[in-house]
Structure 1
Amino acid sequence: MSALKQTMTRRSVVGGIAAAGAAATLTTGTPAAAAAASPAPATFLPADPLLHLLRRATYGPGPASIAEIRRLGATAWLDRQLNPSSIADPVAEGVVARLPLARLSIAEIRSRVGAGTLKQYSWDPMWQLGWAAVARAIWSERQLFEVMADFWSNHLNVTCPHGDVWDSRIDYDTTIRQHALGRFSDLLKASARHPAMLTYLDNRFSGKAAPNENYGRELLELHTVGLAYTEADVKDAARLLTGLTVDNATGRYRYDGTVHAVGAVRVLAFQHANTTAAGGEAAALELLDYLAMHQATARRIVTKLCVRFVADEPPASLITTLIKVYLDNRTAIAPVLRALFTSAEFAASIGAKTRTPMEDLAATVRTLGYGPAASGTKFLESLYWMARDAGHAPLNWGPPNGYPDVAAAWDSPSGLLVRWNFHLSIAAGWWPDTLVRPANLLTGMVGALPATYGALIERTATRLNGIVPTAQQITALAEFYGRTPASPLKTNDPAAGWMYPYLMGMLLNSPSFALR
């Protein structure tokens, strides 16, 4: 063992990475600050429109996805992603198949409780659902579908795991995924009649004697029109939604007319006589259709899509355009996404978004091109805990508004350090230690041994971030190894062996990788 390796401690490595990263333009301190600085694309990101589309419409470019989009072109690639059922997905499906509890229906979970193979109120299925979300984000070929499933899971959030939805949260995920690229009106009605949402926001306990306003309020404020409502609107919405409940014996949705509050209601411009208990469910569905097609809902949905895919403060021109697309297509989401991704505003938004912690984690594995372990689920659990340590375990946001998707929400030095730690841990194969990596990490990343340290840095940066660093950055990174860019690189140099992951880590720590 070399003297260098003997004296290299974790603290000195992190310190070295921090110093080199700072010298390599990590001067803004956090990814959020990097985005706020609005760097020119040539500074941190390549101007390549295909890579831009991959960074935004997926959980991060990987070698296979880059090759695919270059072969298909942007239009054909987007067409394919908007038709996910046409895409074979054997790797992700194979990994998710190791999580049998993450695919159970309400009836199946309850039958397992009855058979004694699963405890009542067990969180095990919900934990597995979180792990499955990690697997799909990283290894699914249906990337845009997975991004949209996550988008709607936040927009119509039901925290997972959550004790009250122990038997229905898995099925709710299935419902979200069924409508992820369909019509928002259909998704809204499916969510409103799902036991998980009815339980989470208390509508299952709402009746004519004492209407519960929780779901009615969040339906208006979070799910549809935003703050364009009055307290009278909330009260009438809550009254109209009474009777949408859950069968305690089966755990399934049912409409109970005996607890429905009859009488005329008005919610915004929607009016209904609501004269019979038997017609209460149909009246509630009419309200949901009205809200889905409301101008304020259109603005809210397309603005959130623009925040997700374009910029934290999206262009007003694009929002106006997409509102019309949304309404003209009766809330269908695929036409909105197509218009968004082919817009001039999207093309001009390179460098305007920052990855959230979960995206950063998924992008790390995808960029490295590492595969799932051959068996077991421990590696998924490890990745999930990494995301949770960063404050962003999939589906786990507590309040009903879903995870934030703006840079300022994730702007903290401690969060940055968590990301730096998992970059290096994953790249080096320390944790998880069972991901499938190249036998020779350096040649697996960049091919034959480069002749110089400068060439090593350039080729690794291009491989991981898609852009060649500046001369100053290359010099700073070479200095981390005590070399210059022109120094010859030898096979037995630490930089070509056990210290190569530190170069990978430093590059993954840069704003180039932090930006979506």
Structure 2
Amino acid sequence: MTRRTVLAGSIATVALTATGLGVSAPAAAEIQTATAAPVREQTLLSGDPIAHLLRRATFGATPESLAEARKLGVAGWLDRQFAPAKIDDAVCDRVLARLPLAGADGATVRAKLPKHSYDAFSQLGRAAIARAAWSNRQLFESAVAFWANHLHVAAPSSGVWDTRADYDVQVIRKHAFGRFADMLKASARHPAMLTYLDQRSSTKAHPNENYARELMELHTVGVRHTEKDVLAAARLLTGMTVGNSGGYVYDASRHATGAVDILGFRHANAAADGEAAAMAFLDHLARQRATAVRIAHKLSVRFVADEPPAALVERLADVYLKNDTAIVPVLRALFTSPEFAASTGRKTRTPFEDLVATVRVLGLKPDATGTKSLDALYNALVDAGNAPFRWSAPNGFPDVAAVWASPTAFLLRCNLHLNLAAGWYPKQLTRPADLLKSLVPVLPATYGALVDALAVRLIGAKLPATHTAAVLSVADKLPTSPLTAKDKSLAGAAPYLIALVLDSPSFALR
């Protein structure tokens, strides 16, 4: 097989790219264009509903999670995941104990760190990776990631060095399976959000419009407001600020009084009930049809397709309103919908999801001690532009394939696959004694059968014959090449074969 022949197939190009044999930028871009908006017919993903559910509702299926889900069935698995407190999470908890500031309140962070230290940010980002990789509460962690992106407070960002970790605990994690109205109000009264969107500096003499605008435009109804609405909302929200102790306070002396009429919300807004008026406004926004549709659409983009079916969005909005903004009924309706079942191959993993799925599918476990592997994984995600919470704008990370499709991003994924498969970086992760044997316990008789077994284990289906041949060309083998335990080249070739299967466009799909 010549290099030109190898370049003819997308997997072949992946093979050459990952091993540094040289692929032109146009060729790499061509692959990315082909995989940026994948459809079911272009992929090797099976129609197995359990595998599909776990690809979407978790950060990557493992043999153990697949076995559990097949035993419980879709409904049973959802029931179990919707009760995360009942799921043992000892392995993840031990890792999180090494990151005490990831869940610390503002007072604790201020007591332990110098002002404006990044250490709490660092621990929070590493905790997000650990939870995605090793928590058994996978659906909860997926929901947490969604809501953290929706009610986004960047980390690191100016002024929230001491409160951002507490925001994660008291706003996002506390309400991720609760009611959106409650989460929205908790966010509005948290010093991290008040600081991030400048609400803490808003006064009756100089109302700041930032939080009022993003509250409507990003968090709730979308772009339906006028400038008059923004000004009125900014006035109504004055008084909600951060006190000298660093926590939330309502300061009536900063509140601008006077009747307001904002997107159908009318209130006298007297001095005596300024905070109550603000909370009533937030409840009003949370229960608007426009908010229900916006949230239903974003959930559908996250879990179904970059361009979700309009009928599904409308039905989920109905569920949201019927259940008084409760989140779990909406998620249950989404994951049991025919549109979800038919969406195989229509979501692409972000760099964060690709990295974590690789860790999970390879069976890589936490460091025996310390957090050096999490440091390395976090830094790799910084390079990929997708480290947890590290998006500076208040709209949160984009969740569509085209944003993450580029030759550079593709090369970064290939390099990470090989580093993790070979154990080169990060070295501190706990690995199976024999990675290849853990993935393929019974050695097949030929190299072609070995790649088939790896593909079934890592992706869920065999690669096309031409792709298998292209992968094996890197090891200078043919699909028919015999394979025995005494083959001296197998140990050296194994990491490359594993990585090249992970480089398949199908593994990039959720």
Give the secondary structure class of the aligned counterpart of 2:492.
coil
Contact map agreement 2:38 2:347 (CA 8 A) in 1: no
Deviations for 1:448-468, whole angstroms, at most 9, x for unmatched residues? 222111110110111110111
**Larger CA deviation: 415-424 vs 476-485:** 476-485
Instruction: Give the equivalent residue in structure 2 for 1:280.
Output: 274
- Residues 197-276 of structure 1: matches in 2 within 5 Å? 197-248=193-244, 250-276=245-271
Instruction: Return the alpha-carbon distance in structure 1 between the equivalents of residues 20 and 37 of structure 2.
Output: 20
Instruction: Return the alpha-carbon distance in structure 1 between the equivalents of residues 52 and 362 of structure 2.
Output: 18
Deviation at 1:378, TM superposition (A): 0.4
Give the secondary structure class of the aligned counterpart of 1:29.
helix
- Correspondence 1:192 to 2:194: no
- Residues 350-361 of structure 1: matches in 2 within 5 Å? 350-361=344-355
Instruction: Give the equivalent residue in structure 2 for 1:308.
Output: 302
- The root-mean-square deviation of aligned C-alpha atoms, in Å, is 1.9
- TM-score, reference length from structure 1: 0.93
Deviation at 1:474, TM superposition (A): 2.0
- Correspondence 1:368 to 2:373: no
Amino acid at match of 1:135: A
Give the secondary structure class of the aligned counterpart of 1:266.
strand
Instruction: Return the alpha-carbon distance in structure 2 between the equivalents of residues 172 and 384 of structure 1.
Output: 20
Instruction: Give the equivalent residue in structure 1 for 2:490.
Output: 496
Deviation at 1:21, TM superposition (A): 11
Contact map agreement 1:59 1:363 (CA 8 A) in 2: yes
Instruction: Give the equivalent residue in structure 1 for 2:70.
Output: 70
Instruction: Give the equivalent residue in structure 1 for 2:94.
Output: 94
Instruction: Give the equivalent residue in structure 1 for 2:140.
Output: 145
- Correspondence 1:514 to 2:501: no
- Residues 107-122 of structure 1: matches in 2 within 5 Å? 107-112=107-112, 118-122=113-117
Amino acid at match of 1:315: P
Amino acid at match of 1:394: P
Give the secondary structure class of the aligned counterpart of 1:271.
strand
Amino acid at match of 2:35: A
Percent identity reads 56
Amino acid at match of 1:34: T
Out of 380, 385, 391, which is 1:386 matched to?
380
Q: Does the C-alpha gap of structure 1 residues 344 and 19 become closer, same or farther in structure 2, counting only changes over 3 Å?
A: farther
Instruction: Give the equivalent residue in structure 1 for 2:126.
Output: 131
Q: Does the C-alpha gap of structure 1 residues 267 and 27 become closer, same or farther in structure 2, counting only changes over 3 Å?
A: closer
Instruction: Return the alpha-carbon distance in structure 2 between the equivalents of residues 257 and 410 of structure 1.
Output: 46
Deviation at 1:491, TM superposition (A): 2.4
Contact map agreement 2:240 2:275 (CA 8 A) in 1: yes
Instruction: Return the alpha-carbon distance in structure 2 between the equivalents of residues 20 and 203 of structure 1.
Output: 52
Deviation at 1:103, TM superposition (A): 2.1
- Residues 279-298 of structure 1: matches in 2 within 5 Å? 279-298=273-292
Deviations for 1:334-356, whole angstroms, at most 9, x for unmatched residues? 00000000000000000000000
Out of 420, 424, 430, which is 1:430 matched to?
424
Contact map agreement 1:243 1:281 (CA 8 A) in 2: yes
Instruction: Return the alpha-carbon distance in structure 2 between the equivalents of residues 435 and 394 of structure 1.
Output: 19
Q: Does the C-alpha gap of structure 1 residues 164 and 479 become closer, same or farther in structure 2, counting only changes over 3 Å?
A: same
Amino acid at match of 1:29: I
Contact map agreement 2:158 2:196 (CA 8 A) in 1: no
Q: Which runs of 4+ in 1 moved over 6 A?
A: 18-22
Amino acid at match of 1:260: H
Instruction: Return the alpha-carbon distance in structure 2 between the equivalents of residues 281 and 243 of structure 1.
Output: 7
Instruction: Give the equivalent residue in structure 2 for 1:34.
Output: 35
Contact map agreement 2:259 2:266 (CA 8 A) in 1: yes
Deviation at 1:13, TM superposition (A): 8.0
Deviations for 1:110-163, whole angstroms, at most 9, x for unmatched residues? 233xxxxx2111110111110111100100001111111111111111110123
